[in-house]
Amino acid sequence: MITQVIHDARKIVIKIGSNTLAKADGTINPEFMKDFAAQCADLMRQGKQIVVVSSGAQVAGVSTIDRWARKKDIHYRQALCAIGQVELMDNWRAAFGASGFHIGQLLLTKEDFQDDHRTLNMRNTIFTLVDEDVVPIINENDSVSYEEIKIGDNDNLSALTAILWSADLLVLVSDIDGVYDKNPKEYADAKLIETVADLDALRGSISIGATNGFGTGGITTKLEAAAKVTAYGIPMLLANGSRPRFIEALANGSQKGTVFLAQEDL
């Protein structure tokens, strides 16, 4: 199923979480970014179009100014994101540049998706970038967001982006292999659920753990993202980004994950 949805998809949104982007010490991982960009470049040379939704502004900020790492004041966190976003984009520029591709940055808030004029401009910008083989890198504008205009996590931001762009597939890259019947980090006998056709039934049959690590999301936000995109006929894949050459492995069927089927496929 994973091999098929990747093969069938021309327009792919890939969301990279903070846990995937960070090393064990909490700093940014440029080696991962370069390898990921090279795999995206391979897909693009096969005729696919890629949009990346990237977390990691705070992680990159800590990599730059580590003395702010433990500050919890909102002004410091927003300032850290402002610093980190520059570092994050510089790393993405270098990573995709090594494979011969340029990137473009879009920083968004919930308001952007609620205003028709902004939505049209966002859509046109994304289409123009990908048509010219430039990779859009999208993140929430954490330095200016507050509760009323904050999406809050990049799982849902990537779902909104996939719907806006009329994508063929959304891929959420995480630090777990997919959805399990219970938390695999707590239970050794947890079983991977490889295909999800009924989200409501899934919610009633699994144990949802708490958010962990550097990210703002958890399995709850991933299920929210799946509900959004599958309702629009877009399948979603949840996969582990810590595996070697994980995009290639998913495409050739050697790595497992969880596929959420689009409602029109049911």
Assign 84 a pLDDT band (cuts: 50, 70, 90). Answer: confident
Assign 74 a pLDDT band (cuts: 50, 70, 90). Answer: confident
Residue 189, pLDDT above cutoff 50: yes
Residue 212, pLDDT above cutoff 50: no
Share of the chain above pLDDT 90, in %: 59
3-state class (DSSP) for residue 165: helix
For residues 217 and 211, the answer to whether their CB atoms sit within 8 Å is yes
Q: How far apart are CA 222 and CA 41, in angstroms?
A: 26
User: What pLDDT was estimated at residue 148?
Assistant: 43
Strand locations in the chain (E): 11-16, 49-54, 102-108, 134-140, 169-174, 179-180, 192-193, 195-196, 236-240, 258-260
User: What pLDDT was estimated at residue 81?
Assistant: 82
User: What pLDDT was estimated at residue 213?
Assistant: 41
More confident residue, 131 or 140: 131
User: What pLDDT was estimated at residue 76?
Assistant: 78
For residues 82 and 74, the answer to whether their CB atoms sit within 8 Å is no
Complete domains list, the chain, with CATH: 2-265 (3.40.1160.10)
User: What pLDDT was estimated at residue 162?
Assistant: 97
